[in-house]
Amino acid sequence: MSDKSAKSSNVVWHQTTVERTMREQLNGHKGAILWFTGLSGSGKSTLANAVEGKLHELGVRTYVLDGDNIRHGLCGDLGFSDADRVENIRRIGEVAKLFLEAGTVALTAFISPFQADRDRVRGLVPAGDFFEIYCQCDLAVCEERDVKGLYKKARSGEIPEFTGISSPYEAPEKPAVVVDTAKNTLSESVDIVLVALRKQGVISN
């Protein structure tokens, strides 16, 4: 395996002794990337954490990669320009891929506003391992929630390049799952995701 984007030509992919299928067999379930996308306030983090909680109860090995948390460390050097958003998602995609290779279900909660970036992550992994989960919620509802007060600041100009206000959000073209977080309860939303995972054979219980 080679990385055409690597700046150094003196790196060679090292094949590990323990492969993904072996890790999945030990875990008792398949690995997957659950990519929750949607506007700020659409319920991505809430739903991702609720799904993780349910999967944990079912004995599934999981880890949530949350947008705000990641920007405290791995992506702490990035801003919110289009270029920085692209790099933010690129890094997360690579990290999520590592969790997938570990046979783990990685749940990511990022606005990830650009379809091309989400498709790029999808292209990093085998077909069927990337689940684009669209947390569909009208902008007006997201603004009403505004739990972090971000929309108010964006409307007043305090936050430039804010998705949905001064920066675009490209809704998924063909998401694996659509959850209307304005109409469905949290419990109903979790069930919608779990049904999809069972249907695709990620979990069996």
Can you read off the two tokens belonging to residue 86?
A: 């692209």
Query: What is the model's pLDDT at position 171?
Result: 94
Q: Is 30:104 a contact under the CB 8 Å cutoff? A: no
CATH number at residue 34: 3.40.50.300
Give domain status of residue 144, yes or no. no
What pLDDT does 11 receive? 66
How many structural domains is the chain composed of? Answer: 1
pLDDT tens column, 7-18: 666 666 667 778
* Averaged pLDDT of the chain: 89
Show which residues are catalytic: 112
Q: How many CB atoms lie within 10 A of CB 49?
A: 16
Q: How many whole angstroms separate alpha carbon 89 and alpha carbon 111?
A: 10
H or E segment and range at residue 35: strand 32-37
Please tell me the predicted confidence (pLDDT) of residue 17.
Answer: 76
pLDDT of residue 147: 78
Is residue 149 in some structural domain? no
Residue 12 inside a domain? The answer is no
Range of the domain at 68: 20-139+169-198
Question: Does residue 55 have a pLDDT over 70?
Answer: yes
Predicted TM-score (pTM) above 0.85: yes
